């Protein structure tokens, strides 16, 4: 299965991508997560990306496309992948098309998740992430066993993401509307776009996504 998940900040892309990756036994490729590892490790790419991310802006397309192609060429992505948060602009979608042609593979579906902004703001206010391993919690629906401490990697600190401050969230919504929302019109003519309501519990959304996917994925 080769999928793209599209949706505004905090809509639940990462949450559903992790479930889908486990279900199909394929990797979740989240450009935001890859960038945060670069920022944490203070690589050149991380230093370049950090200022864009902290302001809620998109990292330049050429940087993202090079990073995405390298990840898609890794052996674990040969049998399928869930793209979480990539592509995010029409030029990135065009670039992805070229990368997939080079790899001789085709997409099976583009899943767009939508939720009202006020619901998302409540979710993001309650999100906490592990500084070390990136595990994601929500103080309402899945809090850590011990407040402020990561269950997954045994003790690292949980923080609110720098870009989850109200002013930056508003900027991210604007950027989504201007630069990412047009992807729905870009992908609609392919017949692969599936639109799913994300205002439900995690299991129900997961079920609706599975229902919307093709029974038989493309072989190539």
Q: Which residues are catalytic?
A: 13, 88, 127, 161, 172
By the rule CB under 6 A, 99 interacts with ligand AP5: no
Long-range contacts of 61-64 (CB under 8 A, 24+ apart): 61/89, 61/91, 61/92, 61/95, 64/31, 64/88, 64/92
Quick one: CA torsion of 92, 98, 100, 106, rounded to 10 degrees? 90
Residue 150 has phi, psi (to 5 degrees) of: -75, 125
Q: Where in 144-192 does DSSP place strands (E)?
A: 158-159
Closest by CA to 81, choosing from 5, 27, 25, is: 27
Q: Which span sits near ligand AP5 by CB under 6 A: 37-45, 48-56, 98-106, 181-189?
A: 48-56
What are phi and psi for residue 136, nearest 5 degrees?
-110, 135
- Closest contact distance (angstroms) between CB of 191 and ligand AP5 is 23
- Quick one: 103 or 135, whose CB is closer to ligand AP5? 135
Binding-site member from 1, 14, 158, 206 for ligand AP5 (CB under 6 A): 14
* 83 touches ligand AP5 (CB under 6 A): no
Q: With binding defined as CB under 6 A, does residue 138 bind ligand AP5? A: yes
With beta carbons less than 8 A apart as the criterion, state whether 15 and 118 touch.
no
Work out which of 3, 6, 32, 38 binds ligand AP5, going by CB under 6 A. 32
Q: Can residue 134 be called a binding residue for ligand AP5 (CB under 6 A)?
A: no
Q: Which of residues 186-205 bind ligand AP5 (CB under 6 A)?
A: 201-202, 205
Length of the chain: 220
From 1, 6, 10, 209, residue interacting with ligand AP5 (rule: CB under 6 A): 10
Pairing of strands 136-138, 127-130: antiparallel
Only segment of 12-20, 70-78, 150-158, 185-193 that touches ligand AP5 (CB under 6 A): 12-20
Residues near ligand AP5 (CB under 6 A) are: 7, 9-15, 31-32, 35, 52-53, 56-59, 64, 85-86, 88, 92, 123-124, 126-127, 136, 138, 141-142, 163, 172, 201-202, 205
């Amino acid at each position: 299965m080769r999928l793209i998940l599209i949706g505004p900040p905090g809509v639940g892309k990462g949450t559903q991508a992790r479930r889908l990756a486990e279900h199909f036994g394929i990797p979740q490729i989240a450009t935001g997560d890859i960038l945060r590892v670069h920022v944490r490790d203070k690589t050149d790419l991380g230093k370049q990306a950090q200022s864009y991310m902290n302001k809620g802006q998109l990292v330049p397309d050429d940087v993202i496309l090079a990073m995405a192609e390298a990840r898609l060429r890794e052996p674990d992505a040969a049998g399928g992948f869930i793209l979480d948060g990539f592509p995010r602009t029409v030029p990135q979608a065009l670039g992805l098309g070229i990368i997939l042609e080079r790899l001789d593979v085709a997409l099976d579906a583009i899943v767009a998740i939508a939720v009202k902004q006020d619901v998302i703001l409540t979710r993001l206010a309650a999100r906490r992430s592990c500084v070390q391993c990136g595990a994601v919690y929500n103080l309402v629906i899945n809090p850590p066993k011990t407040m402020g401490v990561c269950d997954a990697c045994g003790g690292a600190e949980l923080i609110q993401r720098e870009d989850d401050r109200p002013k930056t969230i508003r900027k991210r919504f604007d950027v989504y509307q201007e630069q990412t929302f047009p992807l729905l019109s870009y992908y609609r003519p392919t017949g692969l776009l599936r639109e799913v309501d994300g205002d439900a519990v995690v299991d129900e959304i997961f079920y609706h996504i599975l229902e919307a996917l093709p029974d038989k994925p493309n072989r190539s």
